[in-house]
Amino acid sequence: MNSNVQLVKNILKYTFGLVPIVAGLDKFTNILTDWSQYISEGFAGMLPFEPTTFMMIVGVIEVIAGVLVLTKTKIGAYVVSAWLVGIALTLIFSWSYVDVAVRDLVMAIAAFSLAKLYEDNQTIAKN
């Protein structure tokens, strides 16, 4: 395999493995940001618990998704891609942090690309 392709795969794998883990863990500490600010007031009002509790649940999901990317890269990359699209759509529908939504859509495309790179790799290995 081309060494540049392998380099890109590794960079994307560790980016989409480690960043969700770090962001997920930060949902418990709010060192990077106050994550509950990204929840719209309307959505927060529908929650049966505090927005901070919701963000902790999100954090657990993100940590699991990151670990999945590191261990089962193709599946994990699809999960992270879908998760990022979900976040982006939520932000777009509430029309808040639209800049973050656009960034998340770009990251979703990159995570999807990682999954496709691993899919192609598995196809080649079977032939």
Closest to 25 measured CA to CA, from 63, 70, 81 = 63
Which DSSP state fits 96? S
Q: Mean pLDDT for the chain?
A: 92
> Per-residue pLDDT tens for 27-68?
999 999 999 998 888 888 999 999 999 999 999 999 999 999
Residue 124 has pLDDT above 80, yes or no: no
Q: How many domains does the chain have?
A: 1
H or E element that contains 73: helix 73-94
């998704």: which residue's tokens?
Answer: 65
Q: What is the mean pLDDT of residues 11-31?
A: 97
Give the model's pLDDT for residue 127.
Answer: 36
Q: Which domain holds residue 97?
A: 3-126
For residue 28, which phi and psi values (nearest 5 degrees)? -95, -20
